[in-house]
Each structure stands twice: as C-alpha cells, then as structure tokens.
Structure 1
Amino acid sequence: MLSFNTFIRDLGTIRKALLTAALLFIAGGVIGWIGTGSLQQLLNEQLKGISEISGDLRESSNPQWSFFVFIFLNNSIKSVVIIFLGALFGILPVLFLLINGAVIGYLIHLSAIQGQDLFTLIVKGLLPHGIIEIPAIIIACAFGLRFGGKALSALLRAGKRNEREADHWQAFMRQTFTASVWIVILLFIAAIIESTITFSLLS
C-alpha cells in the first residue's frame, strides 16, 4: 500500500488535478512577475518574512541543521495539511499554489530588475532542491484539489450515496495516506539538499 509504485499509480488517477495544480503554480509565477501595487506590497512582506527567518537561522549555533529542521517541518506539515484542507472545496490548495508561485515569480523578477545574477539564483538557489520540492508541493495540492472536487460532488449528491461511492472514498483516503507518506519523504530529501548543497552554493 505504501510502495513507491503504488504512489506513482495513484498519481495517474489524479492527472487532471495534477495538470490544474501545475497550471495554477505557473499562473502564480506569472502574477508574481507582473505584480504591482497592493500585490507587490504583499509579496514584499512575504519576502521580508522569509529574509528575517533566514537571518535568524544563519545566526544559530548550527545554521545548516537549523535550516534543515525549519525547511523540512515547514514544508512537510503545510503540504500534508493542505491535502486534507482541500476538502473545503479546494479553495486553500488554489491559494497555496498561487501564493507560492507568485513569491518565486516576484523574487526572480525583482532580482532581474536589480541586476543580480539570475544563473546563481535559479541554478544554484532554486534548482538543486526545487526540482524535488516544487513537484512534491504541486502533488500535495493536486490531492487537495481532488479532495475538494470529491467533497463538492458528494455535497451535490447528498442523500443519494451508495456502497460504490463509499468504496471510492475509501480508496481515495488510502491514496491520500500513501501520498502523504511519499510527499514527506520527498520533502525530507529536498530539505537535506537545500540545507547542504544549496546552502553551500549560496554561502
């Protein structure tokens, strides 16, 4: 039930949700790139918060360990929670994807405007861990979107439930459990990379 092959097969059953999640993340990146006015102010606040946390972690007695613990717990807890909060008709996964995409898009655009080296930012700062972290987050949100779709469908069919639908829910909940385990594992690996390789490349 918890095998990686089962996880991959389960992804095949939520292809539409995966595509939707990926497009929402990309849309967030575009929104962040062109963000102005109040949106720009919101994204600046997000980056300011990240910068403050990063500064505190760097001043700890063991920065790399502190970065690892924070990154892993922050990403894994949020990703698992967003799967199940998706039951609220998928609203929170949508916001989560748009906001995270926007922060990355805005950061890249801001760095380009300031004349910073985008190669260093993208290839050294984002790619090593992002190649695992971003897909893991998109997968988590895709399951959240699917959860929301199923919840909405069940609400519309209230009073017409049958054993077959109960079986579908049981199968889906098994999928979310398997996905949660593998998403945490993937984010654990990403956190190791970010707190070691990415940390060293950007130091």
Structure 2
Amino acid sequence: MDVLDVKVPRRTLGHLLLVFLLSTLGGYWAGAASPDTALEAVRKIIGQIGPISDSSFHNFVKIFTNNSMVALLTFISGLFFGLGPWFIMAFNGFVVGLVVFAVHRMGGMPMGQILLGLVPHGVVEIPAIALAGVAGIVWYREIISGEGDGGERFRRGAVKGLKLFALSVLLLFVAALIEAYVTPRVAGL
C-alpha cells in the first residue's frame, strides 16, 4: 500500500493494531482480576484528562491536541530501535481495557453503549496512532538500511516518516471531530 509516495508496511500496521487489541483484552482481564486497582487507575486518568466540557468544540480541541501529542510521541519513539510504538500501543490498549472494565462492570454501563462510545471514532483514531508508529519505524528502518551515507539515510527516512505522520494527524483530526460531535449522540452520552 502506497500513501503519499511512501510504501506503508501493512504487516507492521496490522501487528501494531493486533498488539493494541490484545492489550485491550489484557487490560480488561487485569481489571477483572483487581477491580479496586482498575478503578483507581481510571480515577487517575480522569483526573489527568479533566472534565468533559459542555462545548463540543472545546472537547474537539482537547481530544485532537491530546491524540496528536500521543501520535507525535509514538512517531518519535520509532527511532528507539523501532520498539517504542509497540510499547505505546500496548500501554494505550491496556488503559482502554481498564477503562472499559471500570465503566462496564463498576459503572453499570451496558457493553453495547460502551462500544457505541468507542467504535465511531476508534476505527479512525486507533489506526491513525498505529500509522504514526509505523511512520517512526519506517524512519528507523531507513536509517539502518545501509543504502547511502548516514545523513542521507536520516533525511530520506525523515521525509518518508513525516509524510505518514502528516496523514496520521489528518486522520486524528477526523477522529476528533467524530469523537466530539458524533460519538456522544450515537452512544447517548
């Protein structure tokens, strides 16, 4: 798959998404194994994020800014031997699993409503974050490719990675619009 004249390693993208999914299940199971710990973790997350605004626009800005920062961190972490994105996807998946457990089991929200609260924007947002990770991995792989001198490989990798990262940010913009304006109505939140 070529995007913006950059070959996207579909296999890497798929594996990052699989890591996220499996980690989400792991987070849910960890919450079930230790509900008090899960609830405390969710309280800390809510404390860091802050309250949801009555203004969809303010929520959009907050969501887009937060997700763009996560994508940037995921992108840059790809330079750490190509390993950073795997840890970030696993961590974020685990946190989503904990939150789903806490909201479902302890908050009493039906699983269908939780899925309606996650799926509309999540189908764009999660692949966008994974794509940012792929962008960092592409950059790293180009640096170590051995074709050309070090500076040339660095620049070539940066160009390829930044093109994919820009696409990731564009997708996050769309996901934030969906999360701020569509998801609350669809999920009845």
The one-letter amino acid paired with 1:120 is Q
Higher-Rg structure is 1
Give the deviation of 1:200 after TM superposition. Answer: 3.0
Q: By percentage of residues, which structure has more helix?
A: 1
Distance change (3 Å), C-alpha of 1:131 and 1:162: closer
* Equivalent residue, structure 2, for 1:116: 109
Contact 1:17/1:143 (<8 A) preserved: no
Q: Which of 173, 181, 190 pairs up with 2:175?
A: 190
Contact 2:120/2:183 (<8 A) preserved: yes
Structure-to-structure mapping, 1:1-203, within 5 angstroms: 7=3, 10-12=6-8, 14-35=9-30, 41=37, 43-52=38-47, 56-58=51-53, 63-114=55-106, 115-123=108-116, 125-149=117-141, 153=144, 163=148, 168-201=153-186, 202-203=188-189
Scaled by the length of structure 1, what TM-score is found? 0.75
Match of 2:80, SS state, is: coil
The one-letter amino acid paired with 2:12 is A
Work out the CA distance in 1 between the residues paired with 2:136 and 2:15.
11
Work out the CA distance in 2 between the residues paired with 1:179 and 1:131.
18
Give the deviation of 1:191 after TM superposition. Answer: 0.7
Give the deviation of 1:176 after TM superposition. Answer: 1.1
Report Cα offsets for 1:44-75 as digits up to 9, x if no partner: 444223433565333xxx52122111100110
The one-letter amino acid paired with 2:109 is Q
Alignment RMSD (CA, Å): 3.0
Matched residue count: 186
Scaled by the length of structure 2, what TM-score is found? 0.80
**Percentage identity across aligned positions?**
25
Q: RCO (CA 8 Å, sep 6+): is it higher in 1 or 2?
A: 1
Give the deviation of 1:129 after TM superposition. Answer: 0.8
Work out the CA distance in 2 between the residues paired with 1:9 and 1:162.
19
Query: Mind listing any 5+ residue stretches in structure 2 that lack a counterpart?
Result: none
Query: Mind listing any 5+ residue stretches in structure 1 that lack a counterpart?
Result: 155-160
Distance change (3 Å), C-alpha of 1:128 and 1:112: same
